[in-house]
């Protein structure tokens, strides 16, 4: 699907960077990332690989020009436009029982081989090479592929001038495809912290989601996935019946796709207790657990009253994010806290606030 090599034209259209820059980053990737360790609630540590501004810019270019065109399976709710924690919970409201399975080391399990199997030959990468080759041969009018559609704004003569045949020969036909894969992975796997990783995870999991969803549909079971959290619920089965039907099938399918279940985080519950998905209680209707609201209220009070002098814009951004989440579940309470935060922000940082 991909021809011999890749030119400056191809790379600048997709990545916004030329051959020299891209190959330097690939060869010295360690110099373009920062390893960050964040404490987990359970006492462990979450390892984040944060790209530097240059690599991050290139990865965002890849995301916007290539990967965002992919459509995740309807059962995927994490990192998908117009879907999220609330839409994920909507699918399980009023359930009689709930099962949750966590995928172990999710991003660290998505290898280059996973990506090549899912992405090789796809039209969203191929189109940059295909149109470019057609223009070189004079078989199409570049004006058809102007900025508005494909960011092409060159004449045939200019396109021929930026093509570097010698480079294609010297590199042994390293394709645009392979460079994109290299730029989106670290040490052979997708990295938690790369802006491309969530979308790549959804692309890799698309086959799994489809198979799992179809199996669950035959059993009258609702299935959703939010990143590495799989959720199953039923309005007719008991939790033991749900576990019997789902556990083995889900585990086998995960292993077949090269993943492993985190057995310590696998949970099966009945509606006699609290059914909670990604912080949203779904027993009868969507709600936020009372203790979580009380904790949030205390954090808002601490940030806006007790510790107001030390509150940063970053602190407010986090609190406003939680207030937005609360608004999507309980609009009255959410708006109350959001307006309080916006007023404090306006007074402290002299920002005009319209409120909600």
The confidence band for 79, taking pLDDT boundaries of 50, 70 and 90, is very high
pLDDT at position 129 is 52
CA distance 20 to 167: 11
100-135 pLDDT, tens per residue? Answer: 999 999 999 999 999 988 876 555 555 555 444 444
- Report whether pLDDT(300) > 50: yes
- Interval 28-46 mean pLDDT: 88
Query: Which of residues 110 and 164 earns the better pLDDT score?
Result: 110
CA distance 93 to 16: 45
The confidence band for 224, taking pLDDT boundaries of 50, 70 and 90, is very high
CA distance 25 to 2: 22
DSSP states of 139-163 as a string? Answer: -S-GGGG-HHHH-----HHHHHHH-
pLDDT at position 335 is 95
Beta carbons of 260 and 254 less than 8 angstroms apart? yes
Query: Which of residues 39 and 227 earns the better pLDDT score?
Result: 227
User: Among 134-143, 173-182, 226-235, 243-252, whose mean pLDDT is lowest?
Assistant: 134-143
When the pLDDT of each residue in the chain is averaged and rounded to a whole number, the result is 83
- Report whether pLDDT(170) > 60: no
Beta carbons of 201 and 212 less than 8 angstroms apart? no
Residue bearing tokens 């080759």: 133
User: Among 170-184, 187-201, 330-344, whose mean pLDDT is lowest?
Assistant: 170-184
How many angstroms separate the Cα of 236 from the Cα of each of 125, 212, 221, 281?
45, 19, 9, 19
302-348 pLDDT, tens per residue? Answer: 999 998 999 999 999 999 999 999 999 999 999 999 999 999 999 88
pLDDT at position 164 is 36
User: Among 96-105, 138-147, 184-193, whose mean pLDDT is lowest?
Assistant: 138-147
- Interval 275-285 mean pLDDT: 95
26-36 pLDDT, tens per residue? Answer: 999 999 999 99
pLDDT at position 16 is 72
Phi/psi at 214 (5° precision): -65, -40
Domain architecture of the chain: domains with CATH: 11-34+46-70+108-143+150-190 (no CATH), 85-106+196-281 (3.30.70.270), 290-348 (no CATH)
How many angstroms separate the Cα of 9 from the Cα of each of 12, 17, 117?
5, 9, 26
- Report whether pLDDT(2) > 60: no
DSSP states of 193-247 as a string? Answer: TBTTHHHHHHHHTHHHHHHHHHHHHHTT-EEEEETTEEEEEESSS-HHHHHHHHH
User: Among 72-86, 161-175, 247-261, whose mean pLDDT is lowest?
Assistant: 161-175
Provide the whole-model pTM.
0.81
pLDDT at position 11 is 64
Q: How many residues does the chain have?
A: 356
Contacting residues for 98 by C-beta, under 8 A, at least 6 apart: 92, 231, 232, 233, 239, 242, 267, 268, 269, 271, 275, 277, 282
The confidence band for 221, taking pLDDT boundaries of 50, 70 and 90, is very high
Compute, in degrees rounded to 10, the torsion defined by CA atoms 64, 70, 75, 81: 30
- Interval 29-54 mean pLDDT: 90
Beta carbons of 115 and 200 less than 8 angstroms apart? yes
pLDDT at position 174 is 43
pLDDT at position 182 is 92
């Amino acid at each position: 699907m991909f021809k011999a090599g890749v030119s400056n034209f191809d790379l600048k259209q997709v990545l916004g960077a030329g051959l020299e820059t891209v190959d330097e980053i690939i060869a010295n990737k360690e110099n373009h990332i920062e390893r960050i360790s964040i404490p987990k609630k359970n006492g462990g540590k979450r390892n984040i690989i944060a790209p530097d501004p240059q690599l991050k810019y290139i990865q965002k270019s890849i995301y916007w020009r290539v990967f965002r065109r992919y459509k995740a399976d309807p059962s995927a709710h994490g990192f998908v436009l117009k879907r999220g924690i609330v839409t994920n919970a909507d699918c399980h409201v009023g359930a009689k029982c709930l099962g949750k399975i966590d995928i172990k080391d999710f991003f660290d399990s998505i290898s280059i081989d996973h990506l090549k199997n899912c992405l090789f030959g796809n039209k969203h990468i191929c189109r940059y090479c295909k149109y470019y080759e057609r223009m070189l041969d004079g078989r199409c009018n570049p004006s058809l592929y102007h900025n508005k559609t494909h960011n092409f704004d060159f004449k045939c003569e200019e396109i021929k001038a930026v093509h570097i045949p010698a480079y294609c020969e010297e590199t042994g036909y390293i394709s645009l495809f392979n460079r994109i894969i290299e730029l989106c992975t670290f040490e052979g796997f997708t990295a938690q912290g790369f802006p491309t990783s969530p979308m790549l995870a959804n692309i890799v999991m698309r086959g799994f989601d489809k198979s799992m969803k179809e199996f669950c549909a035959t059993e009258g079971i609702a299935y959703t996935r939010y990143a590495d959290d799989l959720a199953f619920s039923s309005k007719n089965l008991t939790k033991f019946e749900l576990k019997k039907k789902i556990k083995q099938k889900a585990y086998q399918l995960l292993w077949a796709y090269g993943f492993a279940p985190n057995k310590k985080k696998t949970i099966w519950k009945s509606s006699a207790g609290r059914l909670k998905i990604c912080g949203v209680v779904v027993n009868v209707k969507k709600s936020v657990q009372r203790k979580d609201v009380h904790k949030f209220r205390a954090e808002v009070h601490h940030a806006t009253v007790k510790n107001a002098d030390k509150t940063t814009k970053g602190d407010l951004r986090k609190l406003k994010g939680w207030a937005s989440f609360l608004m999507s579940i309980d609009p009255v309470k959410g708006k109350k806290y959001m307006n309080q935060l916006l007023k404090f922000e306006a007074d402290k940082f002299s920002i005009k606030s319209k409120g909600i």
